[in-house]
Structure 1
Amino acid sequence: MKCSLRFCFLSTAFLLVFVMSLLFTYSHHSIAYLDPGGLGGIHRVKLVPGYAGMQRLSKAGPYPRGCACRRCPADEPGATDWFDGRYDGSVSPVWTKENMDLPPDVQRWWMMLQPQFKSQNTHEVLSKLFQIVPGEDPYRSRDPRRCRRCAVVGNSGNLRGSGYGPEIDGHDFVMRMNQAPTVGFEGDVGGRTTHHFMYPESAKNLPANVSFVLVPFKTLDLLWIASALSTGQIRFTYAPVKPFLRVDKEKVQIYNPAFFKYIHDRWTEHHGRYPSTGMLVLFFALHVCDEVNVFGFGADSRGNWHHYWENNRYAGEFRKTGVHDADFEAHIIDMLAKTSKIEVYRGN
Structure 2
Amino acid sequence: MFQKTPKTWCLRLLPVLLFFIALVIYHCPYVILRRYIDTSKFLNSSKSLCGGRLIQWESLNFNINRTKQLFLKLEDFFWREHVSKLALPYGIKGSEPLLLKVLAVTANYQVPADIDNLECRTCVVIGNGFSIKNSSLGRMINTYDVVIRLNDAPVRGYENDVGSKTTMRFFYPESASSDPRLHNEPDTLMVLVPFKQQDLQWLKEILYNEKRGRKGFWKPPPQIWVADVNKIRVLDPHFLWQTANRLLQIPLRHRSKQSVHPTTGILAVFVALNYCDVVHIAGFGYPNSRTIGQPIHYYGNDTMKSMKNSYHDLKHEAETLKRLKDSGAVMYLNSDS
TM-score by length of 1: 0.68
User: Counterpart of 1:187?
Assistant: 160
Residue among 216, 229, 252 paired with 2:232: 252
Note the residue ranges of structure 1 that are not aligned, 5 or more in a row. Answer: 1-67, 113-119
Choose which of 285, 288, 293 in structure 2 pairs with 1:298: 285
**1:261 corresponds to 2:249:** no
Question: 1:149·1:291 contact (CA, 8 Å) conserved in 2?
Answer: yes
2:207 is aligned with 1:234: no
Tell me if the contact between 1:227 and 1:244 (Cα under 8 Å) persists in the aligned partners.
Answer: no
Among 316, 319, 341, which residue is 2:304 paired with? 316
Matches of 2:76 and 2:260 in 1, distance apart? Answer: 25
Query: Which runs of structure 1 show a deviation greater than 6 angstroms over 4 or more consecutive aligned residues?
Result: none
1:166 alignment partner, SS class: helix
The match for 2:334 is 346
**Residue type of the partner of 2:103?**
F
Larger proportion of helix: 2
Structure 2 residues without counterparts, runs of 5 or longer: 1-45, 252-258
Q: Give the AA of the match of 1:83.
A: L
Task: Give the Cα separation in 1 of the matches to 2:313 and 2:198.
Answer: 26
Matching of residue 332 in structure 1 with residue 329 in structure 2: no
2:8 alignment partner in structure 1: none
Shift of 1:170: 1.3
What letter matches 1:343 in structure 2?
A: M
Are residues 1:87 and 2:64 paired? yes
Task: Give the drift of 1:300.
Answer: 5.8
Question: Does 1:97 pair with 2:98?
Answer: no
Count of equivalent residues: 270
Which has the larger Rg?
Answer: 1
Residues 160-204 of structure 1: CA deviation (Å, up to 9, x unaligned): 111111111111211111121112111111122121111111212
Distance 1:317 1:111 in 2: 31
Per-residue displacement from partner, 1:265-290 (whole Å, max 9, x unpaired)?
Answer: 00111177110110111111111222
Q: Flag the 1:156–1:234 CA change in 2: closer, same or farther, 3 A.
A: same
Tell me the alpha carbon deviations over residues 90-136 of structure 1, each in whole angstroms, 9 at most, x when there is no partner. Answer: 54432222445664432276489xxxxxxx95222211111210252
* RMSD between superposed Cα atoms in Å: 3.1
* Identity across the alignment (%): 26
Structure 1 letter corresponding to 2:174: E
Task: Find out whether 1:206 has 2:206 as its counterpart.
Answer: no
CA distance in 2, matches of 1:203, 1:311: 18
Matches of 1:132 and 1:73, distance apart in 2 = 39
Contact 1:195 1:212 in 2 (8 A): yes
Which shifted more, 122-131 or 237-246? Answer: 237-246
Q: CA deviation at 1:142?
A: 4.4
Choose the corresponding residue for 1:167, options 140, 145, 170. Answer: 140
- Are residues 1:275 and 2:262 paired? yes
Cα distance in 2 for residues equivalent to 1:86 and 1:200: 31
- Answer whether contact 1:214 1:254 (CA < 8 A) is retained: yes
- Structure 2 length-normalised TM: 0.70
